[in-house]
Structure 1
Amino acid sequence: MSKPEDSGLERDYCAGLLSNRKLAEKYGISEGAIRKRAIKNNWVRAEKSGTQKSTQVRKTGTQKKAVRTTEEKAPRVKKNPPVAVEEIPEKSEEKNSLPPELSGLSQQQLIFAEHAGTGKTRVEAYRLAGYICTGNTAYAAASQLYRNIKVAKAVRYFRDKHQQRYSAEIDEVIHQLVSITRADPNDLSQHRRVNCRYCWGEHHLFQWRDIAEFDKASAAAAKDGKKEPEYGGLGFLDTTDPNPDCPKCSGEGSGHVFIPDTRDLDGDARWLYGGVKQTKFGIEVQSLSQEAARRDLIRLLEIRASRKNGDPVVGDEPHEDADLTDEQLHEALEELGYGRRKNQLEEKLDDS
């Protein structure tokens, strides 16, 4: 096979009009030979308008790597940059300030009032405010500061503000306790006296639910060689009241336990319900203690009343243990089992 002219092959290759396969057929040479010759002589194939290809040859030692062709797209027309919009600074929220009637207090007095209003003792609030008296002197000075008219108003202000997050909890617990105390246990489970099989049967004979039940009993009796069971009619229902003239049960009927669908409990029964327990004797319906709820309700109302009467009175001799702090109230709720961190009531309150 004659060796193709390098000039003609180079011209057609660089023109890019024919593929390597067409060039191989035209010049009688393999495609691999054409690629090797293009690499050796650095031939560059022309591309269509709009794109431009460049071939790069990389060699490491004596090993030749394949030609990597990178396609460069035509440069895009740059758009005008967006006009910068001047951002309008947001208005800073005004800081909460004390009401006008509480103005005139020093920084230390405000710090003392804030700590005293959030549950700290007078001595603790006095020390946190930066005062230097210690021992009995600190208590006397803190009590004197606590009796100041403006300071007492500031303490009440901070106390009311701090108690807002506890008021909802107290109201919810009181509502729940009241619901438990007045709930009817019959809404959770009932023991009913219902009619026996003979109460409403014809001539007070055994009454069947339907013909299928009677046929099944008749077939069993025939198989055992017994006589056919007595027939007192059809239509027996479990929930019918006893017949006072029934000669079999003397109007007493028979005992029947009924448990409603607990998913449908509503009103006070929803708070009294404590869950169900599967035992070897059957299902046991659990309920919260109404007696304990009454005790807790009385105690909680006493705590709430003591808080209302716990504001500082100007001119009276203060007692360190006379006030019930928010922390003490929260601890009292937890001792009663009705704190926010108690999962049982928390789940019930969330479901409501």
Structure 2
Amino acid sequence: MPKNTKISEKKRLNLAPSGLTWKRDVFCSEYLKDRNATQAAIRAGYSERTAKEQGYRLLTNVHVKARVNELMSERAQRLEIETTDVLQRLWEKATADVNELVRIERRCCRYCHGVDHEYQWRTPREFKGAQNATMEEMAKGNADTLLALGQALDEGRTIPCMPNDAGGYGFDQTAGPNPDCPECHGEGIAHVVVLDTREALSHPLYEGVKQTKDGIEVKIADRAKALEQVARHLQMFKDVVDLQASEELITAARAISAASPPITPQYVRDNAHRLDALEWDAL
């Protein structure tokens, strides 16, 4: 077998299915992990000492760039992500209503809908529990006092500071405030309402919850950032400043430069008094 044929066969065996050498092909795969050419080169087996130069050189190679783009396209297809899908998701995030996740609601106080605007209980059981708690507090651990209070209550006698059910039952904390309520004057009580996370999982703004010492914190995505990303995708911003000067401006600048005397040591000595005056003016 001719020598050249052996070399070609050896070279062919060293090629990945992409047509690149295995080393270059591995570099392309590693580069997609973190977009760090230097680290990708090191992970692909290139020398750490020359990894930075190798990474730059590889990314400027036409075949390597094509392979990177190919892998990016394959990854997007695997994840079923298209540009329009990403843009749609960003737009949904930018325009979503935060109130769907967490909001403040003004709800009725305990006196809003009670009979004659007296304190309203949810149920008789809640009322009975409040009475028992009051008696235990008044008895201060004395069993005889507690027994006497219970007997007085059963006999219908009036006990100072004991809760009563004059306002009736049926308190609904989701009801709106009563504008005629003499207790809250129709303002009600502010309640923080958080959407059930079982329903929030697919919401574009929902990013999880965190338990803090002050309660539950709902993590909400940055709508302003999402809107900025949409705007940049649509090229609504022009971040590059145009510094190109007109031909007239360039000509004028050249004329001024030509008319100005050269700054030589002799010029400085001859005009020392003017330079001193400029320094004092600056101060």
Superposition TM-score, scaled by structure 1 size: 0.38
Radius of gyration: which is bigger? 1
Superposition TM-score, scaled by structure 2 size: 0.47
Which structure has greater helix proportion?
2
Higher RCO (CA-CA < 8 Å; seq separation 6+): 2
